[in-house]
Structure 1
């Protein structure tokens, strides 16, 4: 109910006077509308107990969406004030600035509402929960979300097609993202038991391969983007902000390293879980 109240308030403020424009504003509005709509459906199905008729693993779906909504709200709460909030009053008047401040506050508070749901429903010692409620499952959502940020930077004139090694990096991002989405989809749909091979072993093997692939990308991408022989070490002075290939390359390098850390953490946690389970047996 807190998520619905804050989401509705945010959309109302934007539609009334705060406003939005361009690609970044459209993205923020999509985040608020999408999260509100899905949260409303979840709340309705939960109250009416009709979620039992859904052909999905309800617990896995709700915690996965809460994690995704948290990440989406965090980005929207950062992007909106960066592009639409200024210390001085805009041409529309100071009232518009005040509404934009209110939008930023409501969106930021809603991050904590979704984050609290993830914290409450996460796996706890001694409790039987779905895979998506574990650290490994939550990390899968974060990994896929970061991959989407990388894809956005690639599409923003990143010049990745200038070198074959950077094209290899794009293949790495795409392959890991696709398999991660498949893992999440199988878990949410409750189809993991129908596979002909142990799902937990598949996830561990895939995570290990993803660590190796991202490790190679984390080395290759910076070399062919910032080395003097292949790219530009420093940011060009005549490069406009928002449309600079160097900025996109830097974003990709940073989030490649971030995803490498996430996949490695996922692998360590998965091995620890299997070790504890094996020892207790």
Structure 2
């Protein structure tokens, strides 16, 4: 089968240009960050572990989305995506929106936590600017895809689809936070609370990935339950788990009023609480859409 390449005018389309920008900025960002010397990052021992964890989180974000965007870009150029057994419109929308959210988090985490504000270097500042440009690039692609018709956007371009991307983003964000809180906590009460939180986060992330695989693989017709009921059960389960997590987070904030508790841990718990609330709202609104869909069909 001959390989079909885009026409010349397609190489100047907004979508082609913005994906090229995504590849260039993400590659530039993780390349600069990887070349930074330890002296250009935090040298304070008390936050050294935080620096390593969040630096790895940021590096993974930029490397992952650079790789998957490059593959999407190449497949789009050679028009080979029609041979892949994946819903292409849902895949591109998911990568664009999730990439915007993840790169937004990385562009905040890296300058705020990883960089040494007392000893800023040109390389670290350049990396922070490149990280922000990466977020802008993915946001631009999300906007371009959102301006397409509903058929071109697919399910992930609808409000329930976007809410599911926010849910997956929220679950991914709490992973480094929970790791740091668990490592910095020696209380048996906190360990029990973190165990419940980890299980809740893990189940919700797993459910999000299952839903994503079903949608991208067009497996909705093969589900044991009708797909709309399956989504409703998924949303309800997420709401219940995140209600538990949010209560635990507020409980930990109250327990951390003790002056002996490290300030860094308090800040991390507050960040976890904010993310839990945002994700809980996403699940709640998604549940409302699912219930409305069920009622309309009955």
- How far apart in 1 are the matches of 2:27 and 2:195? 42
Answer whether contact 2:54 2:176 (CA < 8 A) is retained.
no
Change (3 A) 1:13 1:253: closer
Answer whether contact 1:66 1:114 (CA < 8 A) is retained.
yes
Once the two structures are TM-superposed, the CA of residue 53 in structure 1 deviates from its matched residue by 1.5
**2:22 equivalent to 1:3:** yes
Gaps of 5+ in 1: 91-96
Task: Choose which of 264, 268, 280 in structure 1 pairs with 2:284.
Answer: 264
TM-score normalised to structure 1 length: 0.79
Name the counterpart of 1:106: 130
The C-alpha deviation readout for 1:63-105, integer Å capped at 9, x for no partner, is 1111221122112211221245456545xxxxxx223222212
**2:55 equivalent to 1:25:** yes
**2:64 equivalent to 1:41:** no
Task: Choose which of 229, 236, 239 in structure 1 pairs with 2:262.
Answer: 239
Correspondences of 1:1-281 after superposition (within 5 Å): 1-14=20-33, 22-85=52-115, 89-90=119-120, 97-122=121-146, 127=151, 129-158=153-182, 159=185, 162=189, 167-223=195-251, 225-227=252-254, 231-232=255-256, 234=257, 236=259, 239=262, 241=264, 244=265, 246-272=266-292, 278=297
Name the counterpart of 1:94: none
Once the two structures are TM-superposed, the CA of residue 114 in structure 1 deviates from its matched residue by 0.7
Residues paired across the two proteins, number: 264
- How far apart in 2 are the matches of 1:102 and 1:235? 39
The C-alpha deviation readout for 1:174-207, integer Å capped at 9, x for no partner, is 2222212110111112211222321122102321
- How far apart in 1 are the matches of 2:146 and 2:188? 41
Secondary structure of the equivalent of 1:156? Answer: helix
Cα RMSD (Å) of the superposition?
3.0
Secondary structure of the equivalent of 1:153? Answer: helix
Answer whether contact 1:123 1:133 (CA < 8 A) is retained.
no
Answer whether contact 1:18 1:103 (CA < 8 A) is retained.
no
Answer whether contact 1:35 1:69 (CA < 8 A) is retained.
yes
Structure 1 window deviating more from structure 2 (196-205 vs 208-217): it is 208-217
- How far apart in 1 are the matches of 2:208 and 2:36? 40
Structure 1 window deviating more from structure 2 (34-43 vs 153-162): it is 153-162
TM-score normalised to structure 2 length: 0.75
Once the two structures are TM-superposed, the CA of residue 127 in structure 1 deviates from its matched residue by 4.2
Answer whether contact 2:221 2:227 (CA < 8 A) is retained.
yes
Once the two structures are TM-superposed, the CA of residue 271 in structure 1 deviates from its matched residue by 4.1
